[in-house]
Amino acid sequence: MKASNYGKAASGHKRFWVEMGTQPEAYCHGPFDDIEEAEAEARQMMDEDDRERATIGEGEEVELYLPDAEDIIERMTEGLYEQCGEAGCDYLDSRQVNKEQKAELNEVVEKAVAGWLTKHNLWPKFCKVDEVKVVNRETTKDSQPKPTEQTQ
């Protein structure tokens, strides 16, 4: 289930981000509208922070995974088994609940959760960032290490 399927703008998705450092001290900058803008920012940040590399990633909308009808029915059956023993084992099995009914339950659950997320403004406000490009600091002729002179 994605926020965009319910008319909510996905935060930061389809935009570019720059990450500096490594976990747990990594920090992100962005979003940037295109990769060239992100790369320019990465190079400037590397110069300012004396870092050797940065990673540019592209934001992708996160997907929320919900229990499906099978999960819900299984949990209800387990609860009845714990309470009533064998009598609860066959409750809501495939002889009682068909594919159409399971599809309906999946739809009802998704709509209920989406409505709840919307009502309380709880949709994710972040995105998944997939690495697109690693930017390394370009060394210039002046910044090359100079050979040491040997004295005897």
Does this model's pTM top 0.85?
Answer: no
Same domain, 11 and 30: yes
Question: By percentage, how much of the chain surpasses pLDDT 90?
Answer: 31
In a domain, 151, yes or no: no
If asked whether residues 19 and 59 sit together in one domain, one would say: yes
Sign of the Cα torsion 55, 59, 60, 65 reads positive
Does residue 152 register a pLDDT over 50? Answer: no
Asked whether residue 11 is domain-assigned, the answer is yes
Residues 9, 32: one domain?
yes
Query: Is 152 a member of any domain?
Result: no
Whether residue 59 sits in one domain with residue 7: yes
Domain coverage including residue 105: 69-119
Residues 26 and 51 reside in one and the same domain: yes
Per-residue pLDDT reduced to its tens digit, 98-139: 999 999 999 999 999 999 999 999 988 777 777 777 887 764
Work out the average pLDDT over 39-58.
83
Q: What is the pLDDT of residue 143?
A: 35
